[in-house]
């Protein structure tokens, strides 16, 4: 199946990164997988990613979790774009955490810069700024915390609950995008 839409969640692979703020993109893709995924997740070494086919309404999609670690996400996305001959401006949505948005806030943009996000910077360096993205607010780092330590730290139970509430909205937001209502 050739996907008409790539949905890419940014995060870091491995158990030590599960439930960290920086893996909000993976959490979003996992939520979409429950609603839209078909079959099992498959390792796809040629893309440096885990992939799962699915459908939104009748549109074939590919759910993607790059396994390159955050700062090299552009490598995996570029391989997928080239292989499937995807137009990033209309057939790609990237999901990432964002420290500039309050915890649990979701913001959709059709293009833009990477901000302080190194995974997004890797993709922008590879593709340019002209692709849709859904930013998931994880809140700002405390003044006494290093940025890397903050985004790689695990969330409290209350923070996780707030983030999950936001992530539960994502399937409907993606359907709206697919239908051209965004």
Q: Are 95 and 24 in contact (CB under 8 A)?
A: yes
Q: In what order do the strands lie in the sheet with 59-66?
A: 42-44, 49-56, 59-66, 5-9, 92-98, 133-137, 106-109
Taking the CB of residue 140, how many other CB atoms lie within 10 A of it?
15
According to DSSP, the β-strands at 59-66 and 49-56 are antiparallel
For residue 22, indicate whether it is catalytic. yes
Q: Is 104 helix (H, G, I), strand (E, B) or coil?
A: coil
Q: Are 65 and 22 in contact (CB under 8 A)?
A: no
Say how many CA atoms lie within 13 Å of 135 toward its Cβ: 24
Q: Of the residues 21, 22, 79, 135, which is catalytic? A: 22
DSSP state of 107: E
Phi, psi of 174, rounded to the nearest 5 degrees: -70, -40
| Active-site residue set | 22
């Amino acid at each position: 199946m050739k996907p008409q839409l790539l949905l890419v969640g940014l995060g870091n692979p491995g158990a030590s990164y599960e439930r960290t703020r920086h893996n909000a993109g993976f959490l979003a893709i996992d939520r979409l997988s429950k609603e839209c995924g078909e079959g099992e997740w498959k390792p796809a070494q040629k893309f440096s990613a885990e992939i799962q086919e699915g459908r939104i309404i009748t549109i074939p999609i590919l759910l993607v979790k790059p396994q390159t670690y955050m700062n090299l996400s552009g490598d995996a996305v570029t391989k997928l774009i080239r292989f499937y001959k995807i137009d990033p401006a209309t057939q790609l949505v990237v999901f990432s955490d964002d420290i500039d948005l309050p915890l649990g806030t979701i913001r959709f943009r059709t293009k833009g810069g990477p901000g302080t996000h190194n995974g997004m910077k890797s993709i922008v360096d590879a593709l340019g700024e002209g692709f849709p993205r859904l930013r998931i607010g994880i809140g700002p780092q405390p003044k006494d915390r290093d940025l890397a330590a903050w985004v790689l730290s695990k969330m409290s139970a209350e923070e996780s609950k707030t983030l999950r509430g936001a992530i539960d909205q994502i399937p409907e937001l993606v359907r709206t995008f697919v239908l051209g209502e965004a």
